[in-house]
A and B are shown apart, each in its own frame.
Chain A
């Protein structure tokens, strides 16, 4: 059965998050918190917890609710607001991984604090040479007494500098690019042997390089068997940023259309020029295509059938990135110089779309995977 309609619960979630973005998340406030030390507002984070959003996509046993469609509802609205709070890093990437890999005890301890807004976490998986290759893990973990010691370098860890817990992938067996032999660990970033170098990112967020030298870690899940868990985490993140891109594109299309109805050149509104009308029609089509695909296939991200899930995620990422490229570049061009400026909001939406295209697999990476699954 296909249903494009949101359930009542999903509609409630959508109304609540959209209302928050519209009323409580103005651009100047976002800009200020984006430039703050942590890159987001702890006050907002507390509100997210109170509104129940930090539970979205997490297991019901831990107080969580919803799956990929609920995540998509949230992320699309976050796209509209250019939200910089670490929901993706903390709840989806770190929390989701803990939910899939952790013992009941670990889940209760870590996810409880996460959902309550008391803890911010980050997922430290990518490495300087891994690009989008999920199995390329060179960081190592070795047994030391009752625990583990980790050594390695984790790259572009989203919100890694705000996190009080890091979920780190490391190799306990095999060599880089082996799917077997990857394990997950929980690491306290304040502990010895962990160096966190935080920095702002081009999309207004923050990330960190995390260097581990003999850092203590607690094993999360089965030793050497984390690949499938991580792969699902990355798939879910890819789908989530696709949903985010829908919100971003929608804002850019609306801004462009609005500008074309007010900006005059050659004695008329620029929206009266047929050449520009056709291009705005193409931007509209690009967004509608991405949205249709997301409406129909987002539910497959929850599928237990691995191939079905991966085909859906890869199709989504390819289509959303392609649509986003069109909408983002055209939005700047059709505005002209004004959209080149830091003062004008469109440039910030464009930048976020440009970074999404380089996260969790680019168009070619997902095309390759889709092609391999279709053979």
Chain B
């Protein structure tokens, strides 16, 4: 696709480029471009810089702090920030709970929570999955019992991403078990500092600590922190999932991963030249590139609708399926490109400040952990099997 840009769009691109150039922390940028471990400050720092410019949550409605951009401006912004090595936005606040708050929350809740999300000062986590409620999310059992002005919450959530950094959690709780499982769920906002909450790390197969188990032991949550009505939480939860899934296309990240793959392939020597010159490997890289631009075309259409105020529907499931499949394909091809040097396990090499000689090429250390970790993407956010059920049921009418 040859996109032609208007003079305004070109000038917008220049202003984004100049901003990133001036404001993006070089340490953060290095981590992003080399797949190294990120700190909370890397995310929060960049978010804060964007917030001062009014660009932290550009896709929000303008009345809440959105930028009021055209779809093309969003596209340009994503491309420029990603190319420059800016970290992605953590989705939990800006993409997930914020739309729920401005759509279903009361004025008090909007005033209390939206500014902190916009500025990046408040970190959110998602309390959805439970040990026995994964794909079957609505079967969740974390109990919230009403006692006067409070709910008393007991139970536990799992796979809670970066709960160790979170100030608040949006949480699905069971307030009624008498009827259909979807009908007794209540959507609560929980301050993570409340007594009775404990966060337990879950170490994933590559050795990282990203997800957690969060246990609630008689946690008092004010009724004022309930979104909408009691027992109507499933409606809000599903609304949120649409936003979550359409945010999972990860086009800029995929393009960056492809660029890294190409650079690695160009460095790996093959029988007749480099791996990047090997016709078969070139075809593999081109194949994934075509998949990326195809998904990008779909996203551009969806973005146009979203800017016009349309809530993402079941088509978001399709974005989630393809975006995550492409992520996995990229990490797998990168394994293939690196070859025997995927074997060394060097977690210390993923921390900045580690200055020893790398084992093998300096790009090798994050590759196998990246491949292993990325197996999660077709599981989380509603597994891809669940997404196919949604398409079958709600799009195809089966």
Contacts and interface: CB of A to CB of B under 8 A. Distances in A.
Contact of B339 (A200, A354, A362): A362
Given A132-B339, A133-B271, A275-B385, A340 B204 contact: yes
A342 B205 CA distance: 4
A326 to B, nearest CB: 13
Contact of B207 (A201, A264, A275, A342): A342
B304 interface: no
B379 A131 contact: no
Contacts of B385: 275-276
B75 interface: no
Interface string B334-346: 0110111111111
Interface in B375-398: 375-376, 378-380, 383-385, 388
Interface stretch (B43-51, B131-139, B247-255): B131-139
B359 interface: yes
A38 interface: no
Interface in B121-173: 129, 132-136, 139, 158-159
B341 A155 contact: yes
Contacts of B198: none
Contacts of B368: 202, 351, 354-355
Given A207-B343, A340-B205, A128 B375 contact: no
A364 B280 contact: yes
A270 B378 CA distance: 17
Given A131-B270, A336-B379, A342-B204, A207 B344 contact: yes
Contact of B335 (A156, A199, A354): A354
Contacts of A343: 202-203
Given A156-B344, A333-B375, A358-B342, A209 B359 contact: yes
B10 interface: no
Interface string B46-89: 00000000000000000000000000000000000000000000
A94 B340 CA distance: 18
A47 interface: no
Task: Place the interface of chain A in its size category.
Answer: 35 or more
B372 to A, nearest CB: 6
B229 interface: no
A235 to B, nearest CB: 16
A359 B383 contact: no
Contact of A265 (B136, B344, B372, B375): B136
Nearest to A367: B280
Contacts of B341: 128, 155-156
Interface in A338-375: 340-343, 347-348, 350-351, 354-355, 357-359, 362, 364
A159 to B, nearest CB: 12
Interface string B356-385: 000111000000110110011011100111
A354 B371 contact: yes
Contacts of A358: 335-336, 338-340, 342-343
B135 A199 contact: no
B21 interface: no
Contacts of B270: 131
Residue from A126, A209, A336 having most chain B Cβ neighbours under 10 A = A336
A203 interface: yes
Given A128-B360, A265-B136, A354-B335, A341 B343 contact: no
B291 interface: no
Contacts of A129: 269
Contacts of A209: 359-360
A201 B339 contact: no
A337 interface: yes
Contact of A131 (B340, B376, B388): B340
Nearest to A126: B340
A153 to B, nearest CB: 10
B135 A202 contact: no
A202 B345 contact: yes
Nearest to B342: A358
B375 A340 contact: yes
A209 B361 CA distance: 12
Nearest to B208: A342
Nearest to B388: A275
B135 A265 contact: yes
Interface of B: 129, 132-136, 139, 158-159, 202-205, 207, 211, 268-271, 280-281, 335-336, 338-346, 359-361, 368-369, 371-372, 375-376, 378-380, 383-385, 388
Shortest 3 CB-CB contacts between residues of A and residues of B: A347-B205, A265-B136, A342-B203
28 contacts: A128-B361, A131-B268, A155-B340, A156-B341, A197-B359, A199-B344, A201-B343, A201-B344, A202-B345, A202-B368, A207-B343, A265-B134, A266-B135, A333-B383, A336-B134, A337-B376, A337-B379, A340-B204, A340-B379, A341-B205, A342-B203, A347-B205, A347-B372, A354-B335, A354-B372, A355-B343, A358-B339, A358-B343
Given A207-B344, A355-B368, 20 more contacts: A128-B360, A128-B361, A129-B269, A155-B340, A203-B343, A265-B134, A265-B135, A266-B139, A267-B136, A275-B385, A329-B375, A337-B376, A337-B379, A337-B380, A340-B204, A341-B202, A341-B205, A347-B204, A347-B205, A355-B343
